[in-house]
Structure 1
Amino acid sequence: MGCDGGTIPKRHELVKGPKKVEKVDKDAELVAQWNYCTLSQEILRRPIVACELGRLYNKDAVIEFLLDKSSEKALGKAASHIKSIKNVTELKLSDNPAWEGDKGNTKGDKHDDLQRARFICPVVGLEMNGRHRFCFLRSCGCVFSERALKEIKAEVCHTCGAAFQEDDVIVLNGTKEDVEMLKKRMEERRLKVKLGKKAKKPKVAESVSKPDASEEFPGPSKGMTGKPEETGLDSKEKKSSTAHKIPATNGSSSGKVGKPPCGATKRSIAESEESEAYKSLFTTHSSAKRSKEESAHWVTHTSYCF
Structure 2
Amino acid sequence: MGCDGGTIPKRHELVKGPKKVEKVDKNAELAAKWKYCALSQEKLKRPIVACELGRVYNKDAIIEYLLDKSAERPNSEVVAHIRSIKDVKELNLTDNPAWEGERHNIKGDCYEDMHCAMFICPVVGLEMNGKHKFLYLQTCGCVFSERALREVKTEICHKCGDPFQEDNLVMLNGSKDEVEKLQKAMEERRLKAKTAKKSKKSKDTKVSKSLDSTAPGPSTSGECSKMLKAPAGPIAGSKRSIQDMKDKSETYKSLFTSHSSAKRTKDQISNWVTHTPYHF
Name the TM-score, length of structure 1 as normaliser.
0.72
Match of 1:12 in 2: 12
Query: In 1, Cα distance between the equivalents of 2:73 and 2:5?
Result: 51
Match of 1:117 in 2: 117
Match of 2:75 in 1: 75
Query: In 2, Cα distance between the equivalents of 1:178 and 1:109?
Result: 39
Match of 2:146 in 1: 146
Match of 1:89 in 2: 89
Secondary structure of residue in 2 paired with 1:170:
strand
| Contact 2:136-2:144 at 8 Å conserved across structures | yes
Q: What is the RMSD of the two structures over their aligned residues, measured on CA atoms? A: 2.8
Aligned residue runs from structure 1 range 30-179, under 5 A: 30-179=30-179
Match of 2:232 in 1: 228
Would the alpha carbon gap of residues 74 and 108 (structure 1) be closer, same or farther in structure 2, given more than 3 Å must change? Answer: closer
Query: In 2, Cα distance between the equivalents of 1:222 and 1:36?
Result: 77
Structure 2 letter corresponding to 1:290: S
Deviations 1:194-234 (A, max 9, x none): 11111112111112222355536657328834642459xxx
Secondary structure of residue in 2 paired with 1:78:
helix
Would the alpha carbon gap of residues 44 and 299 (structure 1) be closer, same or farther in structure 2, given more than 3 Å must change? Answer: farther
| Contact 1:36-1:42 at 8 Å conserved across structures | yes
**Runs (5+) with no aligned partner, structure 2:** 236-243, 245-253, 273-280
Secondary structure of residue in 1 paired with 2:57:
strand
| Contact 2:116-2:129 at 8 Å conserved across structures | yes
| Contact 1:167-1:185 at 8 Å conserved across structures | no
- Aligned positions, number: 246
Query: In 1, Cα distance between the equivalents of 2:271 and 2:230?
Result: 39
* 1:151 positional shift: 0.7
**Runs (5+) with no aligned partner, structure 1:** 232-276, 278-286, 302-306
Secondary structure of residue in 2 paired with 1:40:
coil
* 1:134 positional shift: 0.6
Structure 1 letter corresponding to 2:11: R
Work out which structure has the larger RCO, using CA pairs closer than 8 Å and 6 or more positions apart in sequence: 2
Secondary structure of residue in 2 paired with 1:74:
coil
* 1:154 positional shift: 0.6
Secondary structure of residue in 1 paired with 2:192:
helix
